[in-house]
């Protein structure tokens, strides 16, 4: 029997939020249709600018997901990445945090820094959706410069992930899928005006995998929060 981490008055909500993590390995076990629908309903309740709800979600599974994966891998091997948005993390702490995560993840997998072939194969594993049976692909419609819509997609994604957690399942937001945006659009029959932000890969996590929980940590509040006019609050 699956243990479901449903919220109750006695549940520490902060602990619940912080317990969510991104496994990068899944089992082929399917989620019940009623659970998927409830997750979608929960995600749909996310706030958005002026209630615009600018998320165009394509839910993919089964043979269709495997065929999409094969198409992305073929194009990746032939042409590399083709993202809708820039992939530059700039200078300073942000690329450093990304590099730290990569070092942890590849270390857990036993992949050396100089092992280019193994690192490339792990990218392909990304494009296989880490073996998960389901994925939700999130597109942004043409709303201005799409920045506000991208923020709204973030609230949708967080609701989606927390709902999965509450039902006893796992999900991982996959930016890598968005780096193959033209391939995904062509495969799904999505118009060019729809820009791919991320995918949410989800299912039953493989808890035996070394990358079930990478535990990259988070920056201290003092690095990300500046206080104005609040006395007595120390970060």
182 falls within a domain: yes
Using CB atoms within 10 Å of the CB of residue 155, give its burial: 0 to 12 exposed, 13 to 18 middle, 19+ buried.
Answer: middle
49 falls within a domain: yes
pLDDT at residue 104 is higher than 60: yes
Q: Over the stretch 11-40, which tens digit does the pLDDT of each residue have?
A: 588 889 999 999 999 999 999 999 999 999
pLDDT for position 10:
45
pLDDT for position 6:
55
Average pLDDT, the chain: 93
95 falls within a domain: no
pLDDT at residue 71 is higher than 90: yes
pLDDT at residue 2 is higher than 80: no
141 falls within a domain: yes
pLDDT at residue 212 is higher than 60: yes
Q: pTM score, two decimals?
A: 0.91
53 lies in which domain range? 23-87+128-210
pLDDT-derived band at 8, boundaries 50, 70, 90? low
pLDDT at residue 63 is higher than 90: yes
User: Going by DSSP bridges, is the β-strand pair 134-140/170-174 parallel, antiparallel, or unpaired?
Assistant: unpaired
222 falls within a domain: no
Percentage of the chain modeled with pLDDT above 90: 83
Structure tokens at 210: 């070394």
pLDDT-derived band at 167, boundaries 50, 70, 90? very high
178 falls within a domain: yes
Q: How many domains does the chain have?
A: 1
Which CATH number characterizes residue 158's domain? 3.40.109.10
202 falls within a domain: yes
229 falls within a domain: no
């Amino acid at each position: 029997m699956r243990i479901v981490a449903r919220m109750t008055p006695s549940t520490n909500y902060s602990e619940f939020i912080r317990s969510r993590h991104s496994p990068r390995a899944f089992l082929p076990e399917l989620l019940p249709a009623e659970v998927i629908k409830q997750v979608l309903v929960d995600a749909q309740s996310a706030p958005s600018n002026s209630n615009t709800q600018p998320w165009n979600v394509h839910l993919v599974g089964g043979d269709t997901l495997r065929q999409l994966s094969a198409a992305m891998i073929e194009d990746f091997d032939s042409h590399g990445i083709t993202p809708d948005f820039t992939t530059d993390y700039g200078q300073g702490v942000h690329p450093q945090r990304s590099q730290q995560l990569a070092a942890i993840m590849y270390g857990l997998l036993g992949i050396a820094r100089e092992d280019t072939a193994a690192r490339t194969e792990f990218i392909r594993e990304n494009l296989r959706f880490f073996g998960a049976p389901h994925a939700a692909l999130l597109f942004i419609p043409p709303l201005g410069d799409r920045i506000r819509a991208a923020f709204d997609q973030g609230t949708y994604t967080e609701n989606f992930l927390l709902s999965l957690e509450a039902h006893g399942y796992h999900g991982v937001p996959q930016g890598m899928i968005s780096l193959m945006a033209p391939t995904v659009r062509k495969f799904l029959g999505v118009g060019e005006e729809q820009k791919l932000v991320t995918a949410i890969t989800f299912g039953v996590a493989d808890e035996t995998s070394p990358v079930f929980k990478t535990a990259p940590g988070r920056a201290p509040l003092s690095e990300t929060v500046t206080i104005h006019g609040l006395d007595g609050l120390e970060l």
